[in-house]
Amino acid sequence: MTNAERDLDLAAVVDALCRANHGCGRSSAEPLPSPDEVIGMMEALRRVLFPGYFGWSELTPETLCYHLGHTLDQVRRTMQTQVKRGLVFAPPQADGGETDTQRRAGAITDAFVERLPQIQALVASDVQAAYEGDPAANSPDEAIFCYPGVLAVTNYRVAHGLHELGVPLLPRMITEHAHSTTGIDIHPGATIGASFFIDHGTGVVIGETCLIGDRVRIYQGVTLGAKSFPLDADGNPVKGIMRHPIIEDDVIIYSGATILGRVTIGKGSVIGGNVWLTRSVPPDSRMTVQAPRQDAFESGGGI
């Protein structure tokens, strides 16, 4: 590249970009959470929750505790650092100094680690649900290894655990990583019971204030969303309102169905594919689209 013959004033571009960013708030010297560290920590937790499936092989009962303990200790350090960075985005507390934030991050991390056995029990129930719910599944191993739904729900369960402990930003980074990998978008704030199974999953969206019971099964393209949200006096959306559906135990929702607003889908109901629902239905309902009349060709829909 012979720059002599160029007109580009690189310094002017750099200056313009710098000026624009000075006002944008990240000129703070406080380091942000690192996406790579957070994702690496999630992968380590996956090894802990499914020992022998990811990362290690040839485990024996004798050596399992070494590998678990080793990984868990690493997770703990990484989590404390990243949680501490994330707390920059939390409402300030008491002292708020470096040492105080460090201490809070440590306490949150330890509380999370103590919950891991419960999280493990939940993901084990999810794996079993996947194996039992899909006639194409040949073994629970296949579900653990290959099922995007299992991956996304595992990430959600970890993210939800951190969310409940008041950690900002990190839970969303963890569920977005699953979203990117699977096309399944579960907000870490949602509450989901045991034995949850999402099949295929691409396009599934589960909103922040959803409340989902046990043994629920969902297919690709299902939206559990908000109908609308009220604005405050300044025209900004009011945050924190219960605006997503309640799905009771043993409900099945087939592909492409959309359920909007704080409605309740009663226990044991079945919502058919492509159904559009903005009202509550009682237990054991069977909702299906009555297929609209389909006639002569009109429009292509190609792009």
Task: Identify which of residues 94 and 300 has a Cβ nearer to its own copies in the complex.
Answer: 300
- Burial of residue 118 (CB within 10 Å: 0-12, 13-18, 19+) is exposed
Q: Does 172 bind its own copies (CB under 8 A)?
A: yes
Q: Does 233 bind its own copies (CB under 8 A)?
A: no
Q: Does 92 bind its own copies (CB under 8 A)?
A: no
Q: Which of residues 67-86 bind its own copies (CB under 8 A)?
A: 67-73, 76-77, 80
Q: Does 282 bind its own copies (CB under 8 A)?
A: no
3-class DSSP state for residue 4? helix
Q: Rule CB under 8 A: choose which of 40, 43, 124, 214 binds its own copies.
A: 124
Q: In whole angstroms, how close is the CB of 234 to its own copies at the nearest point? A: 10
Tell me if 238 sits within 8 A of 272, measured CB to CB: no
Interatomic CA distance for residues 138 and 154, integer angstroms:
20
**Eight-class DSSP state of 197:** E
- How many of the chain's residues bind its own copies (CB under 8 A)? 152
Cβ atoms within 10 Å of 176's Cβ, excluding its own: 17
Task: Identify which of residues 178 and 248 has a Cβ nearer to its own copies in the complex.
Answer: 178
Residue whose token pair is 């996956």: 46
Angle formed at CA 241 by CA 91 and CA 218, multiple of 5 degrees: 110
Interatomic CA distance for residues 301 and 190, integer angstroms:
35
Q: Which of residues 125-154 bind its own copies (CB under 8 A)?
A: 132-136, 138-142, 145-148
Q: Rule CB under 8 A: choose which of 256, 266, 268, 283 binds its own copies.
A: 256
Q: Does 100 bind its own copies (CB under 8 A)?
A: no
Q: Tell me the C-alpha to C-alpha distance, in Å, between residue 14 and each of 1, 7, 10.
A: 19, 15, 6
Q: Does 288 bind its own copies (CB under 8 A)?
A: yes
Beta strands in 78-183 (DSSP E): none
Task: Identify which of residues 71 and 213 has a Cβ nearer to its own copies in the complex.
Answer: 71
Q: Rule CB under 8 A: choose which of 95, 96, 229, 242 binds its own copies.
A: 229
Tell me if 67 sits within 8 A of 90, measured CB to CB: no
Task: Identify which of residues 11 and 94 has a Cβ nearer to its own copies in the complex.
Answer: 11
Q: Rule CB under 8 A: choose which of 82, 189, 216, 251 binds its own copies.
A: 189
Q: Rule CB under 8 A: choose which of 59, 165, 194, 211 binds its own copies.
A: 59
